[in-house]
Structure formats: structure tokens, C-alpha cells
Amino acid sequence: MKKCDAPNTEQETSAFCEAVAYRYTSIIDSTMKSTIFYSLQLNIYLQMSVLCVRVVPTAGESTRQWLAEADLLDREYQITDDGEYLYIPVTNPAQVDDSYTLVEYAAPRRETPTRPKDVLSYEPTYERLGDIAILDTEDTSRAEEIADAIMTSDLQMSTVVNRASKIKGAQRVRD
């Protein structure tokens, strides 16, 4: 079997997966080919090598804190271990102190939950009461846009409501 280098870019990854998935055209059907293609692509994206600081587990938290304070911690990848060492991904290896060991490691990508801010181009304002989001905007189209973003996001919300009116008077009631 021929050994090949792991792909380094999205374009190389896509080409590699396509080649593997379509190599066995006569054996598998098109549904299976696309399943293999996406499975390989996902696996490679999740397992691409990144530069990491390798430390013993007892030094892990202090190293992580130092890297975070120096803004060198790569938050796109998970901190992982192999049983003997912790591998902490870094963004700029040139700025890492020489006392640390830098290695390439196949750290999995970190999956972050989708927030309303990710769906919209701004951070919406709302209050949360249990699993209910309460909006306070008079613009109904904006309220609908925010409500859709909240329900699309990974927030555990069952309902989004908009306040009917402003609070008025000595009794502090709504219209």
C-alpha cells in the first residue's frame, strides 16, 4: 500500500477525500461514495495536526493559564492528552517560551455552540427567564429576526416573547 502525506489545506483535504471515495466506483453505489467522502472529510478536518505545547498533566493548568494570558492559546482546537502528556494548541509558536516543548499533534477541532450573535451580525439584547427569552423592542421585524436567531441557535429556549409596551404610571403597569 502506498503511503501518502496527510492533507494540509481544505483544498488538499477535499481532493484527497474525493480520490478515496471515488476510487472504488465499480464496487459501491453513489450514496455510499458520498457517505465515505463526507466521513473522510470530517475525520481529516477533526484530526489535522496543529502545533501544541506538550506538558505533563501536573503542569497543564498553569501552562494553559500562561498561554491564555499571553493570547497564545488556540481556542479552535481542544486540549487533549495521550495518557502521558497534555497537548495544548498554540496560535503563535514563535512567541512560546523556549522552556516548553513544541510538537505537532492531531488535536480535534473544538465544536462551539451556535449563539444568536453568530446568526445575526450583532449581539441581540434579551432577558432570559428559564427557557423563555423576553425581548424588548418596538420594531416587530427586528423582534422577529431576533426571535428566529434565538430559536435557530443552540440556546435551550422553548419560547421567545416580546414585551407589549413600556411600563408606565405610578402603578408601574403596561398598556
pLDDT, tens only, 112-130: 778 888 888 888 888 888 9
For residue 48, give the amino acid letter: M
pTM of the model: 0.48
Q: Outline where DSSP puts E strands in the chain.
A: 50-55, 80-81, 86-89, 101-105, 127-129, 132-135, 159-162, 167-168, 173-174
Distance between CA 119 and CA 108 in Å, rounded? Answer: 24
The closest alpha carbon to 53, from 26, 29, 74, belongs to 74
pLDDT, tens only, 5-48: 444 555 555 565 565 555 545 555 555 555 655 555 555 554 56
Neighbouring CB atoms inside 10 A of 52's CB total: 26
